Structure 1
Amino acid sequence: MEQLTVLDAAFVEAEDSDPHASLAIGAVAVLAGPMPDAEAVVAALTERVMSVPRLRQLLHTQPLDLAAPHWVDDSNFDVAHHIRFTALPRPGDEAALNRLVAEVMERRLDRDRPLWECWIVDGLQHNRWALLMKVHHCVADGVAATRLLGQLCDDPVVGDDPAGPAARPGSNPVEWISGAWRTTRALPGAAVQAVRGAFDIAEGLLRPAAVSSLSGPISSMRRYAAVEVPLDEIEKVRSRFGVTVNDVALAAITDSFRTMLIRRGERPRRTSLRTLVPVSVRPTGARDALDNRVSVMLPYLPVEKEDPVAQLRSVHERMDRAKGSGQSQAGNLVVAAAKAIPFPLTAWTVRALTRLPQRGVVTLATSVAGPRATLRLMGRDVVRLLPIPPLALHLRTGIAIMSYTDRLVFGVIGDYDATPDVDELATGIERAVERLTAISTGHWRSTPVGTLLLVEGG
């Protein structure tokens, strides 16, 4: 019997805290056509699904949270409940695909069945078809979900054996108190920094962000958009300014959110865009384990700054400060401490926290390194890979960033009522990358009024 970790179970609690939340993550693989026979696709996917035990297991919870939820085999497993077929209406363009993604992702997964779905989508433009994979966040984080998608493709890369479940203390009070003491004594000196990081995270969650249309209650409906930019453009910016790829991506997101706020008639402030940035803490030996191994950072993205280079440098500085504060290490500390505490106490604490009106964090920006080689399914190339983040806890928008082959892909999900301009948010990211690239290569110049113009041909 394999139990959920405290972090895995927290995603279930977060979904339960809001009837309009759906904490599934996903990805769309767009494939070159023509699509093979539908029955052949289902047969191939079924064979590969059956090789992944978690996809044939149910989430079983304990009464009164006396023990952690655990995974049990579904004795009535029927793959037909999970692999589904649909076709886009003509002309099968990107807008139609985005609408389908939003509709699939807004519906919660049925907890009476294994927590995943795979949609086979026919009728895309340019003689293409797609797979939409959807899995609950309690099953996998972004890194694990990407590996899972790879296992469904041809010639999947097989990694190391996943690490076994950590030993858990029993329910005897003397046992867990002594276990907590041993855990505390064993903490390295870096734990002091992690404790400070934990306090920074708590402060970030409790201190309200500047009032704006970016945060508030969400509805049950979603909008989705995606945009791709060449990785070599990102690399030009990274190299020119001595920052990271993630810094460039966050700077582009910053600029697009600034434009969104101004378009809505709102003033971008320093405290307008505190952002949840997950950080993977997954060790190499557990890269194939289906679970969650993440910590978080909560930087303010500098939407108050107008100049794109100032935005980029500020993002770099604030991310460095967040890393140095111990925020990224705090998740490991909390998880380690939680293992020494009886599950009912941690479950009740998480439940109470997820039901508080969260007003400090405005959006999510999560980044995953995707495959560098082209994936194939049934002999067809995956020509696009689009990530899909979840929405919950009063976050009205979420952005997932994934590299695939030679591109960096931004998948943007938003609440249907609160973000009718989700397409503009996505295209604004693309424009921001283009502008930073042009600045890096000397193809922009300033006008007398400070407006940047593209100089054709250098």
Structure 2
Amino acid sequence: MERLTTLDAGFLEAEDADQHISLAVGGVSVLEGPMPDFEELAADVLEKAAAVPRMRQVLRTHLLDMQPPEWVDVPNVDLSHHIHHVALPQPGSDQELFRLTADIMERRLDRERPLWECWMIEGLAGGHWAMLLKIHHCIADGITIMHMLSQLTDGGAGDSFATDIRAAKEGSGQKNSPKIGLNPLNWARSGWRLAAAATTSAELAFGGALRIAGGILSPADGSPLIGSVTTMRRYSAARVSLQDVAKVRDTFGVTLNDVALAAVTASYRAALTRRGKSARRNSLRTLVPVSVRSNDAMGITDNRVSVMLPFLPVDREDPVDRLMTVHQRLNVAKSSGEREAGSAFIAAVNVIPFPLTAWTVRALTRLPQRGVVALATNVPGPRHRLRIMDREVVRMMPIPPIALGLRTGVAIVSYADELTFGITADYDAAPDVDELAAGIEHGVAELVALL
């Protein structure tokens, strides 16, 4: 029996804090046709899903949160309830697929059952079909979601771009901290051990914590992209050549993530203009999750992330200036201790009795958040093209959630030779979600044209 970490349980608390949100994440895989027989396809997916413990477990919670929620195996669980079969209305274009994706993702998962669903979608244009995997965020972060999706394919999880990330190379995955239980006599001893283990890195983390707190508490510049959300969602996606992005990276001496975020910045700049708002330096403080997952933890189903809160430079008109400013600000965020502060906070709360952290997280998630405007998360995906029942996966599109006053979220996935941006938006606050996607593609094209 495994217990949720405080971070994992925090996604449940955040969902409970707002009846309008669903904190499920997911991915859409578009495959070449024809679609296999549904019964055979469902049997294949169910066999592979049954081999993943989280996909056959349910949550058990405790009265008054006296202990963390636990993952419990369910004898003879019928996973066929989690497989769905639908068809798109004609002509089966991206617009029909995106609308269905939004409809599926905006509904909450049933907590009395394993927290996932798999949707088989036929009727896509060009003879294609799709598979949508939806998983609650309390189970896994983006990297683990990609790993779980890969496990449902022919040959299972293969080589991933995730092995190139900083945490994977450093082996700095999230460590499990010892619990100290509910006995107050243990709290002081645990606090002393925590203090005795502190080094100069603690000073860095403290400075980063101040930056994070300041970013959350400082109101944004009257952005229409922040505020309460409705129940309904919109979804869209953008595709660019990974080779083009790599050329921009090499030419300007930046990272792939810098190029991707510069394109996102260009799109949000255009979005503010469409809304009649001036794009200023402090208009787009962005939540950028940072993986702290090491290579030896790639197959573990949990969340291992920290955060950075940079201002994306929507005030910069020149594409190269915008790219270099993104690069500089992310470097500052990386060196300022924000990443370390997030990791240190997670490690610290994991040794505090769960009732205290649960009640605190519940209170914080109910406070109005006015400082962070958007979410932008980069998820390394498979290096090589996948196959399901011998059909090639031609596209992979990530689906981020939105919550806590963020009306738009962008997830970026690298798959084979493509970089795909999946955008989730509040239905009423962002009717221009397709223009957001087009703006990202235009942002990359601007930089490629300068090479």
Match of 2:248 among 206, 212, 237: 237
Secondary structure at the aligned position of 1:256 is classed as helix
Distance 1:409 1:193 in 2: 34
Moved more, 372-381 or 190-199: 190-199
Alignment of 1:169-180 (within 5 A): 169-180=180-191
Letter in 2 for 1:136: H
In structure 2, what is the equivalent of residue 20 of structure 1? 20
Secondary structure at the aligned position of 2:225 is classed as coil
In structure 2, what is the equivalent of residue 11 of structure 1? 11
Secondary structure at the aligned position of 2:200 is classed as coil
Does 2:325 correspond to 1:308?
no
Distance 2:192 2:296 in 1: 27
In structure 1, what is the equivalent of residue 90 of structure 2? 90
Alignment of 1:98-113 (within 5 A): 98-113=98-113
Alignment of 1:304-383 (within 5 A): 304-383=315-394
In structure 2, what is the equivalent of residue 44 of structure 1? 44
Q: What TM-score comes out, normalization by structure 2 length? A: 0.95
- Does the 8 Å CA contact 2:244/2:448 hold for their aligned counterparts? yes
In structure 2, what is the equivalent of residue 407 of structure 1? 418
Secondary structure at the aligned position of 2:123 is classed as strand
How far did residue 377 of structure 1 move? 0.5
Distance 1:141 1:135 in 2: 10
In structure 2, what is the equivalent of residue 70 of structure 1? 70
Letter in 2 for 1:236: K
How far did residue 188 of structure 1 move? 3.1
In structure 1, what is the equivalent of residue 169 of structure 2? none
Letter in 2 for 1:145: I
How far did residue 58 of structure 1 move? 0.8
- Does the 8 Å CA contact 2:374/2:406 hold for their aligned counterparts? yes
- Does the 8 Å CA contact 1:74/1:113 hold for their aligned counterparts? no
Give per-residue Cα distances to partners, 1:25-51, cap 9 Å, x unaligned. Answer: 000011100011000000000100110
Distance 1:207 1:264 in 2: 22
Distance 1:405 1:232 in 2: 10
Alignment of 1:199-348 (within 5 A): 199-348=210-359
- Does the 8 Å CA contact 2:25/2:401 hold for their aligned counterparts? yes
Letter in 1 for 2:138: C
- Does the 8 Å CA contact 1:363/1:397 hold for their aligned counterparts? yes
- Does the 8 Å CA contact 2:174/2:304 hold for their aligned counterparts? no
In structure 1, what is the equivalent of residue 119 of structure 2? 119
Secondary structure at the aligned position of 1:290 is classed as coil
- Does the 8 Å CA contact 2:237/2:397 hold for their aligned counterparts? yes
The 1:158/1:369 distance shift into structure 2, 3 A limit, reads closer
Secondary structure at the aligned position of 2:40 is classed as helix
The 1:158/1:248 distance shift into structure 2, 3 A limit, reads closer
- Does the 8 Å CA contact 1:180/1:337 hold for their aligned counterparts? no
Secondary structure at the aligned position of 1:235 is classed as helix
Q: Give the length in aligned residue pairs.
A: 439
- Does the 8 Å CA contact 1:399/1:411 hold for their aligned counterparts? yes
In structure 2, what is the equivalent of residue 417 of structure 1? 428
Letter in 2 for 1:95: Q
Letter in 1 for 2:141: D
Letter in 2 for 1:27: G
How far did residue 344 of structure 1 move? 0.6
Secondary structure at the aligned position of 2:147 is classed as helix
Moved more, 428-437 or 189-198: 189-198
Distance 2:433 2:294 in 1: 35
Secondary structure at the aligned position of 2:154 is classed as coil
Distance 1:119 1:76 in 2: 22
Letter in 1 for 2:307: V
Distance 2:443 2:5 in 1: 39
- Does the 8 Å CA contact 2:174/2:292 hold for their aligned counterparts? no
In structure 2, what is the equivalent of residue 34 of structure 1? 34
- Does the 8 Å CA contact 1:210/1:271 hold for their aligned counterparts? yes
Letter in 2 for 1:23: L
Does 2:434 correspond to 1:434?
no
Distance 2:20 2:175 in 1: 35
Distance 1:123 1:22 in 2: 27
How far did residue 199 of structure 1 move? 1.5
Distance 1:163 1:358 in 2: 27
How far did residue 158 of structure 1 move? 7.1
Distance 1:70 1:195 in 2: 31
- Does the 8 Å CA contact 1:280/1:295 hold for their aligned counterparts? yes
- Does the 8 Å CA contact 1:32/1:127 hold for their aligned counterparts? yes
How far did residue 84 of structure 1 move? 0.6
Distance 1:86 1:79 in 2: 18
Distance 1:227 1:264 in 2: 21
Alignment of 1:132-171 (within 5 A): 132-157=132-157, 167-171=178-182
Distance 1:302 1:377 in 2: 41
In structure 2, what is the equivalent of residue 444 of structure 1? none
Letter in 2 for 1:393: L
Secondary structure at the aligned position of 1:190 is classed as helix
Letter in 2 for 1:206: L
- Does the 8 Å CA contact 1:163/1:289 hold for their aligned counterparts? no
- Does the 8 Å CA contact 2:17/2:365 hold for their aligned counterparts? yes
How far did residue 268 of structure 1 move? 0.9
Q: What TM-score comes out, normalization by structure 1 length? A: 0.94
Moved more, 330-339 or 310-319: 330-339
How far did residue 126 of structure 1 move? 0.7
Letter in 1 for 2:77: F
- Does the 8 Å CA contact 1:118/1:131 hold for their aligned counterparts? yes
Distance 1:283 1:69 in 2: 25
How far did residue 165 of structure 1 move? 6.0
Distance 1:293 1:393 in 2: 20
How far did residue 76 of structure 1 move? 5.6
Letter in 2 for 1:230: S
